[in-house]
């Protein structure tokens, strides 16, 4: 309704109708320029005793890279950070200044408050941030390491029940896993989005024509898909694969031609284009999270 009013208002002013991107830009909580300007004013970031393995210069450099190019954020090879990566990507698109301030507060004080969420990471996480290795470019991104470890330490779901406390290498294990309900809870708590989630960890969403459902929602908001990545990116030749979702991706574009769906999505530092049959897409999708920007009155 709000979007429709905005569109009508723009048209009534005699301008050409704005694109979806233009509408989304006007609704953003903060902009990339604001975040970069804020970062450029910081000249005296002191080494933190709380995060002993994160050097301030590298931390700031990582923040700048992230703000300048949010697509490049990388949750790491072999980790279970993909859910946190998807959240961070959405966060950066909507509120880069909020992200910057939150991470700086976390670095300086060792704890931080964002909305109703109070982050107070454990000593084990503080010690490990900056030391993750063999995770690809995440190795040299201390701010992202700190953030993903903090998120995994703070938000818990049933998958984390038997591994609640961090030990080295737990980023690859159930300690860092994200189930679908936990993902949606994190989006609701951290981002200024209204969230409508369809599907579950073991039950596929009943939305009729999935292509139609996803493409309709992408016109007015952002869609995150919870998929079984073991089928999309095969890692072995085992024919019978466990039918469970393992990966979160942010849908960027979707189209249908000759009964073939072309999906462009973001994950792990890049955008990927994949062509799938409607039957295959039905097989791999377990969750569809539809995010729309909250109006001030909703907050």
Partner 1 sequence: MELLIVQKRKSQMNKLTLALLFFCIMNIISSCSPKNISTSYYYQHEKVLDKIEESYKSLSQQSPFTVAFTDKKFNTVSLEIITDTLSYIYEFDVNESRLTDTLNRFRLNAPKIIELIRQMQSIRCTWINNYNYYVDEKKNSLIFMSIKPVALNSLFSYKKFYTLTYFPQPQYFDSEGRLLDKRKIRRLRKINGEIFKRINNKVCYTISGNFR
Which residues contact partner 1 by CB under 8 A?
77-78, 133-134, 136-137, 139-140, 172, 233-239, 264, 270-275
Pairing of strands 285-293, 193-199: antiparallel
Q: Residue 122: CB partners within 8 Å, gap ≥ 6?
A: 153, 165, 166
Decide whether 184 or 228 has the Cβ nearer to partner 1: 228
Shortest distance in whole angstroms from residue 38 CB to partner 1 = 25
Minimum CB separation of residue 238 from partner 1 in Å reads: 7
The SS3 assignment for 1 reads: coil
Indicate the pairing of strand 270-276 with strand 112-114: unpaired
Nearer to partner 1, 152 or 191 (CB): 152
Minimum gap (Å) between residue 275 Cβ and partner 1: 7
Q: Shortest Cβ distance from residue 272 to partner 1 (Å)?
A: 4
- For partner 1, give the closer residue by CB, 27 or 231: 231
Nearer to partner 1, 172 or 201 (CB): 172
Nearest to partner 1 of 186, 250 (CB atom): 250
What's the closest the beta carbon of residue 290 comes to partner 1, in angstroms? 24
Q: Report the chain's C-alpha Rg in angstroms.
A: 20
79/184 with CB nearer partner 1: 79
- The angle at the Cα of 161, spanning 159 to 166, to the nearest 5 degrees, equals 95
To the nearest whole angstrom, how small is the minimum distance from the Cβ of residue 173 to partner 1?
A: 11
Q: How far apart are CA 47 and CA 272, in angstroms?
A: 38
The answer to whether the CB of 133 falls within 8 A of the CB of 69 is no
* Choice between 21 and 133, CB closer to partner 1: 133
The nearest distance, CB 249 to partner 1, in angstroms, is: 12
Beta bridge partners of 118: 113
- Helix (H) or strand (E) run with residue 265 in it: strand 260-267
Q: H-type helices in the chain, by residue range?
A: 2-12, 20-27, 32-40, 56-68, 82-94, 96-109, 123-128, 142-154, 180-190, 210-218, 229-232, 278-284
């Amino acid at each position: 309704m709000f979007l429709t009013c905005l569109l009508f208002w723009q048209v009534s002013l005699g301008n050409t109708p704005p694109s979806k991107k233009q509408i989304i830009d006007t609704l953003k909580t903060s902009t990339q320029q604001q975040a970069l300007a804020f970062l450029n004013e910081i000249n005296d970031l002191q080494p933190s005793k709380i995060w002993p393995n994160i050097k301030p210069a590298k931390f700031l450099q990582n923040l700048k890279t992230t703000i300048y190019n949010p697509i490049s954020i990388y949750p790491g090879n072999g980790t279970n950070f993909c859910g946190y990566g998807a959240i961070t990507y959405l966060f950066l698109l909507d509120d880069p200044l909020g992200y910057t301030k939150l991470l700086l507060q976390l670095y300086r004080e060792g704890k931080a408050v964002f909305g109703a969420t109070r982050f107070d990471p454990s000593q084990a996480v503080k010690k490990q941030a900056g030391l993750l290795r063999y995770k690809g470019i995440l190795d040299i991104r201390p701010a992202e390491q700190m953030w993903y470890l903090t998120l995994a330490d703070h938000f818990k779901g049933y998958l984390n029940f038997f591994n609640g406390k961090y030990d080295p290498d737990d980023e690859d294990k159930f300690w860092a896993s994200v189930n679908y309900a936990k993902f949606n809870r994190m989006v609701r708590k951290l981002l200024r989005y209204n969230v409508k989630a369809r599907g579950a960890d073991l039950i596929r969403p009943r939305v009729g024509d999935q292509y139609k459902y996803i493409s309709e929602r992408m016109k007015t908001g952002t869609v995150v898909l919870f998929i079984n990545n073991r089928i999309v990116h095969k890692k072995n030749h085992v024919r019978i694969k466990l039918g469970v979702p393992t990966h979160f991706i942010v849908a960027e574009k979707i189209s249908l031609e000759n009964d073939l769906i072309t999906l462009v999505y973001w994950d792990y530092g890049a955008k990927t284009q994949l062509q799938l049959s409607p039957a295959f897409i039905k097989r791999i999708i377990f969750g569809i999270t539809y995010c729309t920007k909250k109006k001030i009155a909703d907050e």
